[in-house]
């Protein structure tokens, strides 16, 4: 495979949050997805579509700085990246309350700028993130006691608490009921309106409704590209 280049830069905020080109991602040297070029501007959404097992999660791991690509270049222009995984073992062994767990979003931040967008006094911003995901009544509950749906909402709240300008979500409606799925859609609309770039993978059209996102699909040739119009 070709040479891999991963860069992190800090430039004007009118640029794209994320760019990549000539990218190949996969396991053990074998590519699962190739991407000729991908640009995600601030305030816009890209939806990744494709069959289960097509490599979407592997691509998102690379774009979220969790694993390196096999080849190609990734440039992060964002100041703060947050990632919501598709599957994460329930934090049953962590002696944390829900509020403590959400606060970990700051601990996991790559960079936290003093003048970040939506920067509020810590307690106010924590309360807002809990309220957005209907977690206020569970704030002092142990994270281990949450249901799968409640835990998923806590993962999303933790990501938002870091005040990201690039938000990556892998199947974010997993374990969510109808009511909370619709609330998540509205929350993503507000997040985009605050000029945050959003990249998400989902099979759930309730999540993508009214987001006006650009859809990229993984085809049988394992290339990520615009789907053909019927």
pTM of this structure: 0.85
Q: What is the pLDDT of residue 220?
A: 76
Torsion over CA: 128, 133, 138, 144 (sign): negative
How does pLDDT run along the chain (230 residues), one tens digit per residue?
A: 443 333 433 334 458 999 999 999 988 888 889 999 999 999 999 999 888 888 899 999 999 999 999 999 999 999 999 999 986 666 656 789 999 999 988 865 543 343 443 444 477 889 999 999 999 999 999 998 999 999 999 999 999 999 999 999 999 998 899 999 999 999 999 999 999 999 999 988 888 888 888 899 887 788 887 765 55
Determine the pLDDT at residue 3: 37
**Are 24 and 34 within 8 A, CB to CB?**
yes
Are the CB atoms for 197 and 216 separated by under 8 Å?
no
Domains of the chain in sequence order: 4-225 (3.40.50.300)
Alpha-carbon distance 103 to 161, whole Å? 7
Beta strands in 134-196 (DSSP E): 166-170
For residue 229, the model assigns a pLDDT of: 53
């Amino acid at each position: 495979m070709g040479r891999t280049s991963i860069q992190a830069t800090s430039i004007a905020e009118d640029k794209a949050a994320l760019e990549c080109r000539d990218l190949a991602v996969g396991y053990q040297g074998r590519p699962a997805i190739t991407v000729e070029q991908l640009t995600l501007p601030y305030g816009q959404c890209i939806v990744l579509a494709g069959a289960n097992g097509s490599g979407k999660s592997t691509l998102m791991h690379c774009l979220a700085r969790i694993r390196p690509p096999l080849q190609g270049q990734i440039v992060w222009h964002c100041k703060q990246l947050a990632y919501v995984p598709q599957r994460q073992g329930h934090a049953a062994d962590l002696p944390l309350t829900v509020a403590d767990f959400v606060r970990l979003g700051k601990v996991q931040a790559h960079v936290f700028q003093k003048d970040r967008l939506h920067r509020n006094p810590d307690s106010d911003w924590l309360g807002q993130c809990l309220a957005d995901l209907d977690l206020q009544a569970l704030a002092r509950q142990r994270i281990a006691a949450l249901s799968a749906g409640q835990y998923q909402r806590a993962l999303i709240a933790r990501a938002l608490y870091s005040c990201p300008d690039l938000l990556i979500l892998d199947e974010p409606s997993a374990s969510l009921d109808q009511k909370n799925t619709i609330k998540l859609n509205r929350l993503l609309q507000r997040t985009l309106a605050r000029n945050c770039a959003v990249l998400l993978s989902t099979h759930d059209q309730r999540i993508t409704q009214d987001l006006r996102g650009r859809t990229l699909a993984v085809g049988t040739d394992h290339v990520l590209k615009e789907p053909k119009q019927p």
